[in-house]
């Protein structure tokens, strides 16, 4: 596809975007998935980026938090180690998605799970309670290892989710 055609297609996609990055185009058959955690800075951001990377042809991935705190630098670092980008992602409050119909809502901690009861629509809820690596104490290397472990756990869960639900 030529450069002009790519630019044209990008402009068409922008016209169908409702501001949340969710296309209003009726020809997109991908399933919408919302990952929710407390700060929307680590776990949910990782899950969103991983699902976009590995299952973006079948799923639209989004993330939100109950108390958004910005994307943690180590989140970006450990994903970049796997060539997974967080480009275009930012920390969002769960209320930004109040009017969106999701196929799956996946809370990543108990606090977020309590907030998910306010999400309307007919969606499947899957709880993935994963410890927050931000809570790990110690030196920088220990913290980095905790983020890598969290990333690896989420990668396994995302790949299994794609395998089980991407048909």
For 33-59, write each residue's pLDDT tens digit: 999 999 999 999 999 999 999 999 999
Domain ranges of the chain: 28-165
Q: Report the CATH superfamily, name and number, of domain 28-165.
A: Response regulator (3.40.50.2300)
Greatest mean pLDDT among 1-15, 17-31, 138-152:
138-152
Residue 20: its pLDDT value, please? 45
105 membership: H or E segment, kind and range: strand 104-107
* Helix 43-55 / helix 140-165 crossing angle, nearest 10 deg: 50
Residue 167: its pLDDT value, please? 82
pTM: 0.82
Asked if the model's pLDDT at residue 8 lies above 60, the reply is: no
- Provide CB contacts within 8 A for 1, sequence distance 6+: 9
Asked if the model's pLDDT at residue 100 lies above 70, the reply is: yes
**Strand, coil or helix: 18:** coil
Average pLDDT, the chain: 85
Residue 104 and residue 62: Cα distance in Å, rounded? Answer: 10
Active-site residue numbers?
37, 109, 116
**Residue 32: closest CA among 43, 18, 42:** 18
């Amino acid at each position: 596809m030529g450069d002009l055609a790519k630019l044209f297609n990008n402009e068409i996609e922008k016209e169908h975007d409702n501001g949340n990055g969710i296309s209003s185009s009726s020809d997109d058959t991908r399933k919408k998935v919302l990952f929710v955690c407390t700060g929307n800075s680590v776990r949910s951001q990782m899950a969103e980026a991983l699902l976009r990377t590995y299952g973006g042809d079948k799923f639209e991935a989004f993330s939100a938090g109950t108390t958004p705190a910005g994307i943690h630098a180590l989140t970006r670092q450990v994903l970049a180690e796997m060539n997974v980008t967080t480009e275009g992602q930012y920390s969002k409050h769960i209320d930004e998605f109040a009017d969106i119909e999701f196929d799956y809502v996946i809370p990543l901690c108990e606090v977020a799970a309590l907030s998910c009861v306010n999400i309307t629509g007919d969606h499947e809820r899957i709880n993935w309670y994963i410890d927050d690596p931000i809570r790990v104490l110690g030196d920088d290397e220990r913290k980095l290892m905790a983020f890598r472990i969290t990333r690896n756990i989420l990668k396994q869960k995302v790949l299994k989710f794609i395998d089980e639900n991407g048909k």
